[in-house]
Amino acid sequence: MGTTDALTPAVTSVQRAGRPGHDRQSVLTIAVETFNEFGYEATSMGTLAERLGTSKSAIYHHFPSKEEVLNRALDYALDGLEAILDEPRASAGTAEARLRFVVTEAVRVLCERLPYVTLLLRLRGNTPIERHALDRRRAFNAAMAGLVESASSDGTLRTDVDARTITRLLFGMINSIVDWYRPGGPMKPAQLAEDVLAVAFDGIRSH
């Protein structure tokens, strides 16, 4: 698991205005926004410098390369997801309880680190850094799939739908949040997690 400094997706209005004097965190935040807007490959250091309202050399003061910016951003997304599996509630209790916990926490991390997870989900695997990140993402997905399999085996989940199909649908529902969730809106992460659990475990039929 990579180690990262504490990072915050938020950026102040002064930083958004592209004024000089950015710290490492604000450079990373705006870089991730730019990667998500134009695509990582299409974004040059010159583009980042323009967005930041500074010079390329000022960026190099914080990051030695564009690749390192990407690496740090992906670490931030993946460290948050991997930390879920290290929590006691991810490995103790029934399969259903563990699955509910992991789903809830995955939604929380996605909402709190939205731009970073968005970048992770859009990777194409064209560079060693991207491929390494995809390997870490697949490992997390495999752990979550294992919980679905366990819950299916012990009779918690319906048996007329293949566990692999349930896993794919669950991943799809969670990952789709990046396309429409807006931080600061009326829907809070905790409520969103409850809604995902309700639909995943109870369906959409009125009781």
Q: What is the pLDDT along the chain (207 residues), one digit of tens a residue?
A: 443 444 444 443 333 433 456 899 999 999 999 999 999 999 999 999 999 999 999 999 999 999 999 999 999 999 999 999 999 999 999 999 999 999 999 999 999 999 999 999 999 999 999 999 999 999 999 999 999 999 999 888 888 888 889 999 999 999 999 999 999 899 999 999 999 999 998 886 765
Judge if 148 and 77 occupy the same domain: yes
Whole-angstrom distance, CA of residue 33 vs CA of residue 103: 25
Same-domain status, 51 and 74: no
Say yes or no: 43 and 97 in one domain. no
- Kindly state whether residues 127 and 197 are assigned to the same domain: yes
| 52 shares its domain with 85 | no
Count of structural domains within the chain = 2
pTM of the model: 0.85
Residues 57 and 76 in one domain: no
Residues in the chain, total:
207
Q: Tell me, yes or no, whether 113 and 75 share the same domain.
A: yes
The residue segments making up the domain with residue 166 are 70-202
Residues 118 and 139 in one domain: yes
Is the residue at 49 inside a domain?
yes
207 in a domain, yes or no? no
Count of CB atoms situated within 10 Å of the CB of 192: 18
